[in-house]
Structure 1
Amino acid sequence: MQRIIHFIQNLSLDITIGAVISSLFLARVINVEVSASMMIGLAIAIWLIYTFDHLRDAYKTKGRANNPRHAFHQKYFNELAGIAAAIFCLGAYNLESLPWPTIRLGFVLIIFSSLYFVYLMLAKKAISKELFAATVYVAGIATAPLSLAETVEAEWVILLLIFWILAYANLLIIPSYEVELDKSDDESSVVTRLGELRVKRLLLFLLVLCTLLIQYFGYLTNLSAAYPILILMVSTLLILVLRPQYFRKYQLYRILSDGIFFLPGIALLV
């Protein structure tokens, strides 16, 4: 079972599924109905972005990578590159099924994602990589719901900011657990750049801010199912920050940190 979970994580399938669930959750809050083709397009976009990023990291790593995800992408580099090319073609074909407003916002996401990779290639030290990546992720899950909305309400903006903080915190927590692996692979991360203590303080600040925003979001809306889910999401990340010694085994930190984006699925069942 553990091998299956790690295989899913290495392929970024958990992140892809979590993005789809989060987008469906946003659609529920915004009160719009997204189509299957929109969610297929989102899944393809998120998977390609993450896979390309991991293939890039694997290519840059000198010798055999110690990080399990980088090692996986090193080992299956050619196979994954071929699959990514096929998935890209599928995504291009899926465009025919999307409404024009979604395609228009989707092109903005493509441009933003392209700028992200250009930034990674040109910057000697990608200081703001995690900020950029969190923004791309939230833009991705928001594209379909917002493209169908007639207006943009204040509570929706707050909800997107909450998801941005959660995504950014996720991208800070994982390298906090993998700092020694990154050092051994000579990989730069936010933790190797800023130090563990600074990143921990930043995480605590972000999660407290996120909690306050969730309280305000709960005040603005009567979505009773959404509020406890958001609290559970931020609480999970807070536990990972405060009690890291309990979650290193079997890469539980990855399961929980990436898994918070599955939690909005509970609201979809209500």
Structure 2
Amino acid sequence: MRFLRLVNILSIDVALGAAALAIVLARLWNIQLPLTVPPMLAMIVWVIYTFDHIKDARDTKMPGLSSRRNFHRTYYRPLVLVSILMLIISGVLLFTLPLRLVLFGSALSCLVMAYYFSLYFLKTGISVKEVSIALLYTAGIVIGPLACGTPPDGFLIHIIQLFLLAFNNLILFSWFDRDVDVKEGFTGIIQRVGQINSRRLLLALPAFQIFLAGSLLISGFFPVFEMIWMLMAAILIFPALSPVYWEAGSRYRIVGDALFFLPLAALLFSSL
């Protein structure tokens, strides 16, 4: 469990999960991804998340409350060095990508920089941080498959489902971290809508996703994928129902981020 917690604190699971989902979507849409896309995506996602955690760790008003921010505050120098190395490797891999993907990636990079500029310098968008991160995370995953081929009809449904799950995950994390976030000077949707309404949202979001995936499953729309998506959404309900158990050892984070590997597991054992 300690190893899994360290992997989670370092956002390694988030980065690998993004790469795994890009592979799954490409397979689902019958698109051939260049071999360098998944590792490059994983490195870029890791750098973005690490930068975000380092910035939060240095901005906190009460150091020591969050183990994640405390870790990034303590080891920020080696983390910065590793981030620079990741960016250098990504820059080299850039020359292996199709021009269209490079252009798409450049546009997304501009959006990421604009987001962080507004967040940390203009101090806007803080209350909708979860929405922004979910959108950028979703865009980062789908940009490879979209740039490398033509997706099938109905592909937008998959993108919406991915966004909803990512947003659900972020809301779940923020709900569990709400007290620490307030003490350390961070706010988000949870503080904006209140604890009671946010818990209702945590129950309504996965319920809607289960309904959507179930409806698509019945209609025969990528049935194996929708079965997996129903399972992923269902798992996200449990932390909100029994928060004491899931808060211990940050189980909610470990399971929440590990969810994104389920579609890849399905890919390995069946044909999506």
* TM-score normalised by length of structure 2: 0.93
Would the alpha carbon gap of residues 140 and 124 (structure 1) be closer, same or farther in structure 2, given more than 3 Å must change?
closer
Aligned to 1:104: 103
> Counterparts of 2:183 and 2:118 in 1: how far apart (Å)?
24
User: What is the identity percentage for the equivalent residue pairs of Structure 1 and Structure 2?
Assistant: 29
Instruction: Tell me the residue number matched to 1:202.
Output: 201
Structure 1 range deviating more: 240-249 or 43-52: 240-249
Farther-moved stretch of structure 1 (66-75 vs 247-256) = 247-256
Alpha-carbon contact 1:155-1:221 (below 8 Å) kept:
no
What amino acid is aligned across from residue 134 of structure 2 in structure 1? A
Deviation, 1:66, is 0.8
1:113-152 matches, cutoff 5 A: 113-121=112-120, 122-123=122-123, 126-150=126-150, 152=151
Aligned length: 268
In the alignment, is the contact (CA less than 8 A) between 2:127 and 2:187 conserved in 1?
no
Q: For residue 230 of structure 1, report the CA deviation from its aligned partner.
A: 0.5
Q: Deviations over 1:190-238 (max 9, x none)?
A: 2233221121122233223222321343255453321221111000111
> In 1, Cα distance between the equivalents of 2:183 and 2:224?
44
Mapped to 1, the partners of 2:130 and 2:216 lie a distance apart of 25
Q: Which residue of 2 aligns with 1:51?
A: 50
Contact 1:10/1:69 (8 A) holds in 2: yes
- Residues 55-97 of structure 1 show CA distances to partners (whole Å, capped at 9, x for unaligned) of 1101101352311100000001111112111211111111001
Match of 1:69 in 2: 68
Going from structure 1 to structure 2, the CA distance change for 1:13 and 1:68 (only over 3 Å counts) comes to same
1:22-33 equivalent positions in 2, closer than 5 A: 22-33=21-32
Task: Tell me how far apart the structure 1 counterparts of residues 182 and 109 of structure 2 sit (CA, whole Å).
Answer: 31
Q: Contact 1:26–1:145 (CA<8 Å) still a contact in 2?
A: yes
Question: Residue in 2 aligned with 1:79?
Answer: 78
In the alignment, structure 1 segments of 5+ residues that lack a partner are: none
Name the structure 1 match of 2:168: 169
Query: Is 1:155–1:217's contact at 8 Å kept on the other side of the alignment?
Result: no
Mapped partners of 2:207, 2:46: distance in 1: 30
* Aligned-partner residue type, residue 227 of structure 2: P
The answer on whether the counterparts of 2:169 and 2:256 sit within 8 Å (CA) in structure 1 is: yes
Question: Could you tell me which residue of structure 1 aligns to residue 188 of structure 2?
Answer: 189
- Structure 1 equivalent of residue 257 of structure 2: 258
Tell me, in whole angstroms, the C-alpha distance in 2 between the residues paired with 1:255 and 1:29. 26
> Is 1:7 matched up with 2:6?
yes
Q: CA RMSD in A?
A: 1.7
Match in the other structure for 2:179: 180
What is the rounded CA distance, in whole Å, between the counterparts of 1:213 and 1:54 in structure 2?
Answer: 33
Q: Deviations over 1:20-67 (max 9, x none)?
A: 111111111111121221112211221111111101101101352311
Contact 1:158/1:213, CA 8 A, preserved across alignment: no
